[in-house]
Amino acid sequence: MSKTLSLSDHFTTSRLLRYTLPTVVMMIATSIYSVVDGIFVSNFVGKTPFAAVNIIWPIFMVIGSVGFMMGAGGSALVAKILGEGDTQRANRTFSLIVYTTLAAGITLSLITFILLRPISAALGAEEEILECCVRYGRILLIALPTFLLQGMFQPFMVAADKPSLGLKIALMAGATNILFDYLLIIPCNLGLEGAAIATALSQCVAGIVPFIYFRRPNNSRLHLGATRWDGTAIGQTCLNGSSEMATNISTSIVVMLYNYQLLRHIGEDGVAAYGVIGYVLFIFIAVFLGYSTGSAPIVSYNYGAQRHEELRGVVWRSFRIIVALSMGLTITAELLAPALSHLFVGYDKELYALTLRALRIYSLSFLLCGVNIYTSSLFTALNNGVVSAIVSFSRTLVFESGAVLLIPLVLGIDGIWWAVSFAEGAALVMSIAFVVRYRHRYNLA
């Protein structure tokens, strides 16, 4: 696929789908192996460890947001430089971003290892759940630098015209996780620690393999090599990618808020039900994230090359694709809700009923979130990190946090599950307003 399509090509709807498909599948594969991890923990380790994993995981998403920020913002900057024709500067900037991300990962891993227990306790974990959080988290922290590299390299694979290679690496990482989940949890009987080791090993594969690929001679657009400090480039990368960082941090904070509220009002069953929703959400949102990540370098390249007509065509075709995906994914989620709920918590009748109702209500948000995700990614690709961050930050932290606190006052427990749809609806209005406002600046109309 990467041999026949390049960033400089003309992209029809079918070509957009072909070019972004490997990234979509890569995101889905990454999500699926996280889901398999949850299935193993829930069914073979226990409900309490499963709840603990869902309490501790947002911490890693907050830290991992640094990698997503560097990848999204950096790939937008590097693709723009490639569009301007300066390959040497593009590779120097790419190398600087990779080395900076690795250094940040090592630093954050050491700090979080020391503070993990008090952080877990602050999130509401107590007694057995607290101990499970610490046992699971400390193993994952060993692989944290590679987790940041994993998130950073995903969009760079597309910018390097190697989306298919990114897919292969994701499949390798996923196979590693699933294989070691089975071996370490069942035959070796390592329980929660086995699940953590399996996840850590998969992150090592996803972070180290692309590092080696770009460090060695290759036929892609990008190469890791010598660089020098460029504070302006790092600053622009962070600004461009601030929306992705804001999204991950805000989403993680919202998850913590959900878990805290559910522990108070329902107990660990509520956290477990929300955990199932989180895993299902990973898979379905991965489609929107995959398309947005896969198409963003095309936008950045054409923006840098000042190919206004091509840029306009890519953007509006993308919006039509996202709307079609939104309708299809919502219907699919509603139809699969019973099977997905049973897969995770079929061993507990009451928990299954709670999870099924929650999942069916929550899935309606898929109708709205796709456009919001793409709009944020679009402004990142256009190197407008401020607007992108506003959309992301408002969508998650402002609107959803407010909704999860206020909607239950009117609708009761069901209001917790409806909150995300109210938040996405408010964010959709904002997304449309920004696109309309900036359509002439970026020649989108």
pLDDT (tens digit per residue) in 333-390: 999 999 988 888 877 788 889 889 999 999 999 999 999 999 988 998 888 878 888 8
**pLDDT the model gives residue 304:** 83
443 in any annotated domain: no
SS3 382: coil
111 in any annotated domain: yes
**pLDDT the model gives residue 265:** 67
What is the band of 422 on the pLDDT scale with cuts at 50, 70, 90?
very high
Residue matched to tokens 């938040």: 423
State how many domains the chain has: 1
409 in any annotated domain: yes
Instruction: Reply yes or no on whether the pLDDT at 3 is more than 60.
Output: no
Q: Side chain identity at 434, as an amino acid letter?
A: F
Name, of 81-90, 172-181, 342-351, 360-369, the range with top average pLDDT: 360-369
SS3 227: coil
8 in any annotated domain: no
Residue matched to tokens 């996923």: 174
Read off the DSSP letter of residue 396: I
Q: Which domain holds residue 199?
A: 13-438
SS3 193: helix
Q: CA 329 to CA 333: how far, in whole Å?
A: 6
**pLDDT the model gives residue 4:** 62
* Alpha helices (H) along 363-400: 366-381, 385-393
Average pLDDT of the chain to the nearest whole number: 86
**pLDDT the model gives residue 1:** 38
The predicted-structure confidence for 251-297, as pLDDT tens digits, reads as follows 777 777 777 777 776 777 777 788 788 778 878 888 998 899 888 88
Instruction: Reply yes or no on whether the pLDDT at 67 is more than 60.
Output: yes
Contacts of residue 315, defined as CB under 8 A and 6 or more positions apart, other chains included, come to: 299, 378, 444
**pLDDT the model gives residue 2:** 41
Q: CA 395 to CA 391: how far, in whole Å?
A: 6
**pLDDT the model gives residue 375:** 94
* Alpha helices (H) along 241-307: 242-265, 268-304
The predicted-structure confidence for 304-313, as pLDDT tens digits, reads as follows 888 899 999 9
106 in any annotated domain: yes
**pLDDT the model gives residue 13:** 92
Would you tell me the crossing angle of helices 366-381 and 414-438 to the nearest 10 degrees? Answer: 40
51 in any annotated domain: yes
Instruction: State both tokens at 348.
Output: 């507990």
* Alpha helices (H) along 84-126: 87-122
**pLDDT the model gives residue 425:** 95
Q: CA 91 to CA 120: how far, in whole Å?
A: 40
Residue 346 burial (CB count, 10 A): 15
Instruction: State both tokens at 16.
Output: 């957009």
257 in any annotated domain: yes
3 in any annotated domain: no
End-to-end Cα spacing for the chain? 30
- 43 burial class (0-12, 13-18, 19+ CB within 10 angstroms)? middle
Q: What is the mean pLDDT of residues 66-83?
A: 86
**pLDDT the model gives residue 394:** 85
- Segment among 55-69, 84-98, 140-154 with least mean pLDDT: 55-69
CA 350 to chain centre: 31
Share of the chain above pLDDT 70, in %: 97
Q: What is the mean pLDDT of residues 16-24?
A: 87
Structure-model confidence comparison of residues 123 and 326, the more confident one: 326
**pLDDT the model gives residue 180:** 92
